[in-house]
Amino acid sequence: MADAVTVAPRGPVAAALDDTVTVFVRQALPTLRSPSGLVFGMLQPLVFLALFGPLLDGTGTTEAFGLGDAGGDTWQWFVPGVLIMLALFGTTGTGYMLLTEMQTGSHERLLVTPVGRTAMLAGRTLNDVATLVAQAVLIVAVMVPFGFDLHLPGALLGLGVLAVLGVALGALSHALAIACREQQESFYMIQSSIQFPLLFLSGLMLPLEAAPGWMEAAGRLNPLTYVVEALRALFDGRVVVGDVGWGVAVVAALAGVGLAVGTRAMRRANA
Amino acid sequence: MIEARQLARTFTTKAGVVEAVAGIDLDVEEGELVAFLGPNGAGKSTTLRMLTTLLPPTSGSAVVAGHDVVREPAAVRRQIGYIGQGNGAGHYHQVRDEVVLQGRAYGLGWRAAARRADELLDALQLGSLAMRTAGTLSGGQRRRLDIALGLVHAPRLLFLDEPSTGLDPQNRAHLWDHVLGVRERFGTTLFLTTHYLEEADTMAERVMVIDHGRVIADDTPARLKADLAGDRLVLALADPADAGPTREAAERLAPIHAFEADGATVHLRVPGGAEVVPPLLRELDHRGVVVRSAEVVRPTLDDVFLALTGRSLREESEAGAPEPGAVESGPPGGGPPGGGASDPAGAEVAA
């Protein structure tokens, strides 16, 4: 063992960025070491893609409503929704990992180090975003041979919007985890009771135009609806449209709220 | 190295306000090895969590490694190491990765952190497990990894919360070898909590006994035992009626802390028991009291705790752990003054 360990002093900003990278790498490492973990978090969206997509196609729903770029191409309409589903099923649950680490002592171990609390949230959220984008790229790559049209500039912007949604949901998931630390089982209860209404009221599975008036109105109150519409437009190659503007505004606001709530929770969880 | 004044912490629970730590003063000098001994729920961990910036005190102050725990928590964290009750490594993380990242967390560069990790894995005989995920390690291996994590930045002050709980005797001995080795090499100040009596007795140079959130004794194990407990003498008399005269004889010779007669067997608690036995036997012989056997039982820290609180720490430890911060009622009474009847340190003296 070396006798002394010398640490060069860092400024507050450099330290915060450095800490964020450290936490991000720590969160990402298990997946990097065994990448099969990436697919594990995609199971539900994959099931919807494989078993619900064809159903949607067969019933002619997308044709009936003239959805998708070719006036009713199911995949063009449904795949962007599946990407949102990745966020809804995967990213919203990442806080549970923090709960587990609070239980075992590995979070406590980090709390005693000089790593900043904001960096703890930022690094974890960054990993949520990286995971989400990697999964989204995987889905898009798989769907191109099945006739999904790739409009590259729009698709890249779409991934950007999805990444910002990942920031929002990842940060909120960690805030939820911290709120549930006295009663772990309530985490999944709360998560799933929020996730399904958000899913159905976003027009992600079936067009809200087909829904009764009250449901469509409720869908308009769901911020996710705007993100879904923006993503559909972008993956369709329509970049300069109102849907995209609304979606970007809503997702940016969500991320702002998520980071504020998440940072506050992380700071208060332990002084 | 540690200076706490009237450090206190209360918790608000459904049952009301619980005073987990009731204003303790603490001074630990550089290089000391101090054990915090007490039953579950006595306030050991709560105190440790306040000293390590994990929990803000309700009142009072603490300066740890030169910095105030409330005003400069980040500065305290840079100076101290902490090995908690749980396991520090992530279940799905590889052993080496975690040690490297711990170095990063303390501000080491990637290369310096990697070098340091390899040194520590080597020193703690974890080198061959470097690529294993922490979840697949045995309890003893995981605890060694915890030590590696706690030592990454070569702290001057190391806190250990119940470091050997759940380890078998062999792994416990290994753990102590490593911890004492570190201390010898770097002069690290060690502050640990334990509810293992033998551990506090044999390892610590100074024992602070804590009960109901208060420090009730603070000295070397030897002095605590001599001053507070004294040896236990067990005399088997031929005639139960001689118990009274035996007590009189003993009281003339030495200050008796406790006396109890159980039929023809007499229990005495007295400081310097081995020196008391010969004159006592002569005196009893002189009075015509027939003694069949005499035994001197050296005191344990449990006897100290018993003398201080009237309760046995051994029984409380075995009663299981309550919620953190909860106050234990403990079994009523203390039983006969022979809590450690199975004490292996007992010495027979033929009569």
B185-240 pLDDT per residue, tens: 888 999 999 878 888 888 888 999 888 888 988 888 888 887 777 788 898 988 88
Question: Which residues from A are below 8 Å from B when comparing CB atoms?
Answer: 1-5, 7-8, 10, 15, 18-19, 22, 25-26, 29-30, 33, 37, 100-101, 103-106, 108-115, 270-271
Q: Among A108, A109, A114, whose Cβ lies nearest the Cβ of B78?
A: A114
- Provide the shortest C-alpha distance from residue A138 to chain B (in Å): 23
Question: Are A109 and B119 an interchain contact pair (Cβ–Cβ within 8 Å)?
Answer: no
Query: What is the ipTM metric for this complex?
Result: 0.87
Q: How confident is the model at residue B315 (pLDDT cuts 50, 70, 90)?
A: low
Contacts of B165 in chain A (CB under 8 A): none
d(CA B158, CA B151): 8
Select from B68, B61, B64, B73 the least CA-distant residue to B25: B61
Task: Please tell me the distance in Å from B108's CA to the nearest CA on chain A.
Answer: 6
Considering CB atoms only, which of A1, A104, A114 is closest to B77? A114
In the predicted model, is pLDDT for residue B343 greater than 60? no
Give the nearest chain B residue to A4 (CA atoms).
B154
Predicted confidence (pLDDT) per residue in A1-35, tens digit: 445 577 777 888 888 999 999 999 999 999 999 88
Query: Tell me: the pLDDT tens digits for A217-245?
Result: 999 999 999 999 999 999 988 888 888 99
Distance to chain B for A12, nearest Cα, Å: 12
Angstrom distance (rounded) from CA B20 to CA B45: 10
Nearest chain B Cα distance for residue A162, angstroms: 27
pLDDT value of position A70:
52
- Which of chain A's residues have a Cβ under 8 Å away from the Cβ of B77? 112-114
Neighbours of A241 (CB within 10 A): 14
Residues of chain B found within 8 Å of residue A104, distances taken between Cβ atoms = 86-87, 90-91
Asked if pLDDT for residue B327 goes beyond 50, the answer is no
pLDDT at residue B159 tops 50: yes
Average pLDDT of chain B is: 83
Q: Do A114 and B105 touch (CB under 8 A)?
A: yes
Closest CA to B305 of B270, B273, B339: B339
Inter-chain residue contact A4 with B154, CB threshold 8 Å: yes
Strand partners, B268: B233, B259
Beta bridge partners of B4: B26, B62
Burial class (CB in 10 A: 0-12, 13-18, 19+), B320: exposed
Which residues of chain B from 16 to 75 reach within 8 Å of chain A, CB to CB? 52-56, 73-74
- For residue A105, what is the nearest residue in chain B, using CA coordinates? B86
Contact criterion met (CB < 8 Å) for B105 and A115: yes
Give backbone dihedrals phi and psi of B256, rounded to 5 degrees, phi first.
-90, 125
CA angle B254, B256, B261 (to 5 degrees): 125
CB-nearest to A105 from B78, B84, B102 is B84
| pLDDT for the residue A69 | 53
Q: Closest residue of A to B78, CA-based?
A: A114
What is the number of CB-based contacts under 8 A between chain A and chain B?
110
